[in-house]
Amino acid sequence: MTDNKWSILLNAVAALGFAISLFYYDPFFYTRMMACLFALSEVVILLQKGRIKKGVYIVYSMIILVLMVIANQYDQDRVYDWQTILLCISVFMLLSTTYRTLYHEPRTSPSS
């Protein structure tokens, strides 16, 4: 399978896992709900690989990152800075990986 198909499969499995956890685990409900929506939206974006413009994906990335932070802060009684920072780093890494999958053009060696 190609990298794109593996990404779609892994995001679908992650979305399913987050969706199931919504019914069996109480803490961090909104964070898990946002993670589920994030995984589902990544599947849709990867399926629409050629149709999504770079600007649209960058705006989508900013919205997802802000909503994940807001959901995480809403779920916590106190602010745990390290958890929010780790969440931001994790989401940013996933978004940048998808960005590279969608828009990265492989380098070609110059012919001599």
User: What is residue 63's predicted lDDT score, i.e. its pLDDT?
Assistant: 95
> Could you tell me the two tokens for 102?
């969608």
pLDDT value for 24: 84
pLDDT category of residue 77 using cuts at 50, 70 and 90: low
Give the Cα separation of 81 and 14 in Å (integer): 25
Q: Which residues contact 54 (CB under 8 A, 6 or more apart)?
A: 103
pLDDT in tens, 29-75: 888 899 999 999 999 998 998 898 999 999 999 999 999 988 888 88
Residue 107 has pLDDT above 80, yes or no: no
